[in-house]
Structure 1
Amino acid sequence: MVVGILLGVPGSGFPRIQQFFNNSESSVTAEPWARKYKCSLPQPCPEEHLAFRMVSRAANVFEPKICLEDRMLMSSVKDNVCSVKDNMGPGLNIALVNGVSLEFIETGASDMWAGDVNDLLKFIQPLHEGTLVFVASCNDPVTKMNEETRKLFSELNSRNAKETAFHENWVFVGV
């Protein structure tokens, strides 16, 4: 039995070993594994570009994630995003990164349903010039958002900050 498994006897479930012993004309070429790049992107980023991936929460299917240069900044695994399990409620997940050195600065999650929008403003307003701001929503990004908050996100180059509505998914990177 063990010899059959090691040598790839037909029906043993080890077709790769069987292919090794077969001649090249009769062997079946297996599909190569899909190569993953930084932040699990399907292709590499061009040189002098940053690789990042952001996911907003969609229903109870996807949890928010923010990845930069293959470093997970925020995720449910790191337990630093708003999610159903922590009962924090819907809102915004924000990661701050130094735009020159790419050093991680800080993350914050803001409950935009039952939280205080002033806490979000206190987190965002003291930004230094050149700070990268990554934002991924968690179910409802706007219930507590006021005109001052929308203006601030617009100044960070969000095109949709003023139009984003209740229960919409929203991600953006600003400087």
Structure 2
Amino acid sequence: MRNPAVLNLAAVISVLLITWRLAINSFDVGEKAGNNLGFNDKDQTKPKSPKGTTTEPKCSLARVCPSDHFALRISSGAANVVGPTICFDGKIIMSHALNNVGPGLNIVVVNGKSGTVEKFGYLNMINGNTEDILAYLKEIQSGMIVLVASFDDSSPKMTDDIREVFVGMGSTLIKSVKRRDSWVFAGRAGTENKSLFEKQTVNDDKTNIYEGWPELVEMGGCIPRNQTDLKGSL
């Protein structure tokens, strides 16, 4: 058995590293998400750079995304200690440091054309109401970009109907996500085309790096504004 203090130390180090790496792009996200379906509606105007201006890579990517793409990076939570981080177009929308994440599935919904963050929050997959969770997911309009990061355990309230909604957004791994797995995903509502923005770390006692928990999972890349072909990049 591993000493719980090791887990706590690792969690603190993870928070510091993730916060330091992305802090330069952070912004105020307002009110903390609610306990069950806590989503914040945001009417944001996406800043534009002057034509011909060379910008630095956003969301800690290795390269600058094309002008018709958005940068994204998503990290799942680490065990039930350190929350996930979702960065979109150079801004941290949700993170442990911003204190706006929760257990289950942390989700950011973005207008696929303008890049405006429409709402964000978390679906409480431990104590939430499955009917409310499913209703919220089904209300996401076609064409919206959906960014998802798991934290703690996303399986207790995960029904087949909820899994099918994510399949309809391009997920190919959601049907295999089980207890305490780490999962990150970016897709588009209203399309069943396979998304290349998806990763999973399986909860397995043989490979877990925390006591009873798998390591966090992270991915990033450039997602097109209004294309169905997603070109991933790490």
Answer yes or no: same fold by TM over 0.5.
Answer: yes
Indicate conservation of the 8 Å contact 1:139/1:167, yes or no.
Answer: yes
Please name the residue that 1:109 is paired with.
Answer: 122
Please name the residue that 1:48 is paired with.
Answer: 68
Instruction: Write the mapping of 1:12-161 to structure 2, written as runs, cut at 5 A.
Output: 37-59=57-79, 62-82=82-102, 90-161=103-174
Q: Distance in 2 between matches of 1:136 and 1:124?
A: 15
Please name the residue that 1:170 is paired with.
Answer: 183
Indicate conservation of the 8 Å contact 2:70/2:115, yes or no.
Answer: no
What amino acid sits opposite 1:70 in the alignment?
Answer: G
Q: Distance in 1 between matches of 2:63 and 2:130?
A: 38
What amino acid sits opposite 1:98 in the alignment?
Answer: N
What amino acid sits opposite 1:80 in the alignment?
Answer: N
TM-score (structure 1 length as normaliser):
0.70
What percent identity do the matched residue pairs reach? 38
Q: Distance in 2 between matches of 1:70 and 1:111?
A: 26
In structure 1, list runs of 5 or more residues that go unmatched.
Answer: 1-35, 83-89
What amino acid sits opposite 2:138 in the alignment?
Answer: Q
Bigger relative contact order (CA 8 A; separation at least 6) = 2
In structure 2, list runs of 5 or more residues that go unmatched.
Answer: 1-55, 189-234
Indicate conservation of the 8 Å contact 1:136/1:172, yes or no.
Answer: yes
SS at the partner of 1:51? strand
The Cα offsets for residues 57-103 of structure 1, whole Å up to 9 and x where unpaired, read as 02256420111110111112332211xxxxxxx30100000001111
Q: Distance in 2 between matches of 1:63 and 1:41?
A: 20
Q: Distance in 2 between matches of 1:61 and 1:117?
A: 24
RMSD, aligned CA: 1.7
Indicate conservation of the 8 Å contact 2:80/2:151, yes or no.
Answer: no
Q: Distance in 2 between matches of 1:120 and 1:108?
A: 12
The Cα offsets for residues 38-65 of structure 1, whole Å up to 9 and x where unpaired, read as 1122333345332100010022564201
TM-score (structure 2 length as normaliser):
0.53
Q: CA deviation at 1:150?
A: 0.6
Indicate conservation of the 8 Å contact 1:110/1:119, yes or no.
Answer: no
SS at the partner of 1:50? strand
Indicate conservation of the 8 Å contact 2:147/2:187, yes or no.
Answer: yes
Q: Distance in 2 between matches of 1:41 and 1:146?
A: 34
How many pairs does the alignment contain? 133
